[in-house]
A and B are shown apart, each in its own frame.
Chain A
Amino acid sequence: MTSVAAPTVLRANTFAKESLREVIGVASITGLTMIYVSAIGMVAVFNERFIIDPVLTMGYLVLFSIPVFAGHRFTRQEALEGLEVAPLSGADVAKAVVAGALAGFFLASFALIVEIFPQLRDTFPNLSPKMVELITLGYGTGAAFVVLPVASGLLAAIGASVAWLPRKLYKASLVGISTVLITSVFDAVIDDFFDWLPAIPDFLYAPISGLTVVSAIVVFVLSATLSFVLSGRDTSIRERLTTSASGTGKRNQMILIGLIGIAIIVLPQFLGGILNELFTNVGFFLIMALGLNVVVGYAGLLDLGYVAFFAVGAYTMAILTSPLSPFFSPEWSWWLAFPFVLIVATIAGLLVGTPVLRMRGDYLAIVTLGFGEIVRITLLSDWLAPLFGGAQGIRQIPGIQVAGTEVSAITPELMIYAMMAFVFIAAYISWRIEDSRVGRAWAAMREDEDVAEAVGVDTVKAKLMAFITGAIIASFAGALFAAKVGSVFASSFQIVTSIIILVIVIVGGMGNIAGVAVGALILVGILGGPNQPGLLQEFGQFKLLLYGALLVYMMLKRPEGILPSKRRQQELHQEEVLQDAWLDKQAQAADLEGED
């Protein structure tokens, strides 16, 4: 901006210094991340699975996508309000290459250290010769000092230079790559789905795992072309879907829900065993997530012991129906027991809700977590074993009797319908309540409890309502769980379950039913629940790590979730919305002036 010579020189100097700092900073973060994924064993475990046989394994994908992203960071263009976008420059690519190479050097040094000190393995079981071989690409630790910097420098350069691609092409190739990944990773789903047309999976997949090179190219080209042709047309659809407040948006939403509904009813006919089981698991978590969404998303009460209500539902059902219930065993049918499950859940909601009524939000979170653990520990204890069976749990729970048959684990194709029925009920309940007098009272309470009370909302009642509604919805899942699995154990109701449900709600979008559904589908479907495998069974041991990382990431980058509720989005981006509103107003004013 200034034309004076001296400050320009000064600026150039600081610019160089800043660049150096940036490069070293990015390089160390990149290198450390690569070392991290290697040292926790992720690379080795993921290496068992091919993405494209025999070119790329999932392990290498994880390891070497890191320098690509790092390189991309240098040329990423963020359009900030009112600021000019900095032009792309070759210097950025050079920086990316240096940073990538440096990161590769770090990784090579790490490999060397692991090789020199084999005793490290006593403490760190993953620092094995096999891992060294893997991360040095089989070239040995000496050659790695050449190979790894070159490779990761190159990858960083690729990551940086994609910014030069035209927008449309860039998007198309992104779609292509993601489609290749998705088809490869979800082989089980596609295999399962195309039972009736085995030619498709046969063409797509290599014998062990992953796509073949040919099929990968075909999938990439097809999807990328499709995206290229269609690009620009999908935005209007998305817009229509997300604007839920207006009348037309609501109608479109209804149509969409209807379509999804039909698909849901027809689809299970085509599903094989694996997918059936998977969707049933997703259903359990979805029901609970919908319930927690009422408590956290609508009423703003962070309940970390939510799994306790699930346990209450499952145990009540078990005691009332199983002949092996140790203390009290009326051996009722599922249908007869169900109303009592709801009653017990209501009481549980009251018992947990009442002591925490006057607590601060965060104290409430910890206390509910405590309640969750108290429930689990007492169910597990020898003391109450005569009532609840202790560590043995309660077995031989009958299924749901429908028209002469019994719906349970033995009949998975019927179980999924029972599951869907309850998912629907839970979703319907939360949908209806949200836009009612009680829903508004919850929203008001979440925003400002004192004021809500002052304008006539009985917050004590509203809070208890939220707890009870949440407890009842969770007990749906519990009652179904007991019927499906046929036995209940206290160990099924751990803190992690509560946390995973919370992650689903937060990742999906607090307060938004569709968001919660998407969250449950993606998270439980891919990663799986605490004891249930997801589609990517390799993720098994890293499941909770990823759940934790996701939670942190979402809170930092997108606290409103993937599909935010309208209110949340505003709440968390108030300043931006205000800015937009101001800009709108300016524009309007300008228009008015023009008219005059």
Chain B
Amino acid sequence: MTATAKKPPETEDSHQRERRALRLSWVDLFLWAIRIAAIIIIVVGLIGSIQKFIAGEGISAEGWRDLLVSSLSQGAMYGLLALGYSMVYGVLGFINFAHGEVFMSGTMVGFIAANWLFENGIWDSNPILSLLLVLLVAMVTSTLLAVIIERVAYRRLRGSPRLIPLITSIGMSFFIQYSFAGFFGAGFNTYPPPPEILAGSVTIFGVEIRTTQLTVIIIAIVAMIGLWYFVTKTKTGRAVRAVAEDKEIAGLMGINVDRTIVAVFAIGGAMAGVAALMWALLFRSVNFLTGFIPGIKAFTAAVLGGVGNMAGAMGGGVLLGLFEGLGPLLILGGLGIEGATQLKDAVAFMALVLVLVFRPSGLFGERLGSDDRV
């Protein structure tokens, strides 16, 4: 509501401060208190960590470096997942809560492929092909599921009040989760150990990095380049951007809006499929709840980067990965809080709250459809 308008410099006068004071209610005071408290906590925590580090206590330099790399790789995964949220929000203006489940379906069905390949010895004899196959299976599954959800549920809800598709997607999310629990059982399925070529670590610029993490980062970069090419250079990609800008006008210009929205869901699903392979490489173990928390975190990443902003989603993902991976140890550890890693998820959610309090339009700016711009 409060317009974020640029002030012309010539209007800066003595009255300015007076008016601000009037508008500064206790709500603002509270929000400022939160902001200041957050900054103090972060700064104090950081100082504490640095002191510890200098004193030679706690985690070593190598430890921090490993943590940094693993946070980066996880952040890349969040980023790819965030794309799905971001694009759907940008085009349709609602949070597709079930996107985490789209990702989960990729990890689960990808597991079947990986397991089959492993049992038949192809996993070790032909690792690259195996990974590509698993990737393909995961991407196809996730894409299909995303498109089916759109067709079955969301398409009928276009134009309804904003909260209705959100509630639907929450229901969808639970339905898919427990359907998978029914199909696969509630236990964990563990991917076969990464093929030998990915088992060790490589040294780049004198820094030793685990190969799986490096692979994950490379996959993310390749996927992003592919996506960028698709969105900027192809006809469908241009249609997606036009529809994101203004559905109605795009429709009048002869773009098939329905088909383009399906494309949006398909792209989001495909990226979730890629993220599924990354999850498999990083964590290996999957079950029907695998998608829930990463889904919410990826949404956080999308907001962090600015909803509707594709590059922002990736940036937001990396930032969130860093914040979540390093934050608990760096900040909470610095404050002397025991068992900081237990609070990992709480830190990620706190990040969401803080982003929305500090900068609800994200770090890199929102790109919303015409109906959602304020």
Contact residues of A with B, CB < 8 Å?
36, 39-42, 123-126, 300, 302, 304, 354-363, 365-367, 369-371, 373-374, 377-378, 380-383, 450, 453, 460, 496, 499, 502-503, 506, 541-542, 544-545, 547-556, 559, 571-572
Contact = CB atoms under 8 A, between A and B. Distances in A.
Contacts of A354: 27, 30-31
B261 interface: no
B302 to A, nearest CB: 10
Contacts of B303: 363
B48 to A, nearest CB: 15
Given A371-B349, A555-B157, A549 B171 contact: yes
A383 B343 contact: yes
Given A355-B353, A370-B349, A548-B178, A381 B339 contact: yes
Interface string B169-210: 011111111110111111001000000000000000000000
Contact of B167 (A300, A302, A356, A374): A302
A545 B350 contact: no
Contacts of B165: 555
B16 interface: no
Contacts of B339: 381-383
B227 to A, nearest CB: 24
Nearest to B348: A370
Interface residues of B, number: 60
A379 to B, nearest CB: 10
Nearest to A119: B119
A496 B115 CA distance: 31
21 contacts: A36-B179, A39-B182, A39-B183, A40-B182, A123-B115, A123-B184, A302-B166, A354-B27, A365-B166, A382-B342, A383-B337, A383-B338, A383-B342, A502-B167, A542-B182, A545-B177, A545-B182, A548-B172, A551-B168, A552-B168, A555-B165
A125 B343 CA distance: 34
B133 interface: no
A123 B112 contact: yes
Nearest to B30: A354
Contact of B164 (A304, A378, A555): A555
B184 A124 contact: yes
B94 A552 contact: no
B167 A359 contact: no
Given A373-B345, A383-B342, A545-B179, A359 B360 contact: yes
A502 B168 CA distance: 12
Interface of B: 1, 25, 27, 30-31, 34, 94-95, 111-112, 115, 153, 156-157, 160-168, 170-179, 181-186, 189, 296, 299-300, 303, 332, 337-340, 342-343, 345-346, 349-350, 352-353, 356-357, 360
By secondary structure, the A interface counts as helix
Contact of B174 (A36, A126, A499, A506): A499
A367 B115 contact: no
A126 B163 contact: no
Contacts of B30: 354-355
Contact of A370 (B1, B174, B340, B353): B353
A126 B345 contact: no
Given A40-B182, A545-B182, A549-B175, A559 B338 contact: no
A7 B278 CA distance: 57
Contacts of B175: 545, 548-549, 551-552
A366 B95 contact: yes
B99 to A, nearest CB: 12
A551 B352 contact: no
Contact of A555 (B171, B184, B337, B340): B171
B184 A377 contact: no
A547 B175 CA distance: 8
A331 B251 CA distance: 67
Given A366-B352, A544-B177, A555-B157, A41 B182 contact: yes
Given A123-B184, A125-B185, A371-B349, A499 B166 contact: no
A365 B168 CA distance: 13
A383 B178 CA distance: 32
Nearest to B156: A556
